Amino acid sequence: MLVGAALAVYGLDQLSKYLVVTNLTEGEVVQVLGPVLQWQFVRNPGAAFSLASGMTWIFTILAAGVITFIVWFARRIHSIAWALVFGLLLGGVLGNLTDRLLREPSFGLGHVIDFISTPWMLPAIYNVADIAIVSSMVLFMILTIRGVGLDGTRESKRSDAARDAEAAGDAEATGGPAAPAPGAATADGADGAAAGEGKTPLAGTQLAAES
């Protein structure tokens, strides 16, 4: 799931940027759904949504670090939801990092292609990679708030399982035959006493008869 999501995001991001560069004029605005959705081709030297435009090298290094971390951390993920989180993040970061490494003006300082404009919602212009990155952050917060672990289980269920395992371990540590219940021991003693008392008169009667 992680690899599939990353490849899907990366492929869609790079394809959309290719179509924008080859078909639109920089700065041109194309009305798609009026003021709701527009295409506007811009080159962004900064981060997502055109933030911090003078820090291109820093974002290039950070993106490489994020990708390295995800690749290293992926082996710990055993949940479809968490795999989707890191897959969206990986695909989005890879998409924008490709622009920074390979596009003008130079290696590592390339400008990211942005083209999606939704003036009614955001003043910034963004791309498919940005959408994937933001979506991964939203899903990350949802899973964290709900207490979903990397294995897909909820925090409450893991706590219950841990308590059950601890109780089972304590029972095994103090193993051996169970002590008889106090009531059972008293009953056994009473039966024995009654049996003993019953034998004494019978033995006396037999002796009297023989004499």
Confidence at residue 93, expressed as pLDDT on a 0 to 100 scale: 96
Tokens read off for 153: 């289980």
Confidence at residue 60, expressed as pLDDT on a 0 to 100 scale: 87
pLDDT classification of 94: cutoffs 50, 70, 90: very high
Confidence at residue 194, expressed as pLDDT on a 0 to 100 scale: 43
Residue 164 annotated among the catalytic residues of the structure: no
Pick the catalytic residue from 130, 160, 164, 170: 130
Calculate the CA 144 to chain-centre distance.
7
Q: Are 133 and 93 in contact (CB under 8 A)?
A: yes
Per-residue pLDDT at 149 exceeds 60: yes
Euclidean distance between CA atoms 5 and 148, whole angstroms: 20
Query: pTM of the prediction?
Result: 0.70
> What secondary structure letter does DSSP report for 180?
P
Q: What is the DSSP string of 92-138?
A: HHHHHHHHHHHSSS-TT-PPEEEEEE-TTT-SSEE-HHHHHHHHHHH
The string of pLDDT tens digits covering residues 173-209 is: 666 555 555 554 444 544 444 444 444 444 444 434 4
Pick the catalytic residue from 13, 114, 151, 191: 114
Strands (DSSP E) contained in the chain are 29-31, 38-44, 112-117, 125-126
- Per the model's pLDDT, the better-predicted residue between 102 and 166 turns out to be 102
Residue 130 annotated among the catalytic residues of the structure: yes
Give the contacts of 24 (CB within 8 A, at least 6 positions apart).
30, 39, 41, 115
Burial zone of 110 (CB within 10 Å; 0-12 exposed, 13-18 middle, 19+ buried): buried
> What secondary structure letter does DSSP report for 150?
T
pLDDT classification of 163: cutoffs 50, 70, 90: low
pLDDT classification of 125: cutoffs 50, 70, 90: very high
Q: Are 41 and 111 in contact (CB under 8 A)?
A: no
The fraction of the chain above a pLDDT of 70, given in percent, is: 70
Confidence at residue 198, expressed as pLDDT on a 0 to 100 scale: 47
Confidence at residue 161, expressed as pLDDT on a 0 to 100 scale: 54
Domain positions in the chain = 2-153
> What secondary structure letter does DSSP report for 30?
E
Residue count of the chain: 211
Amino acid at 125: I
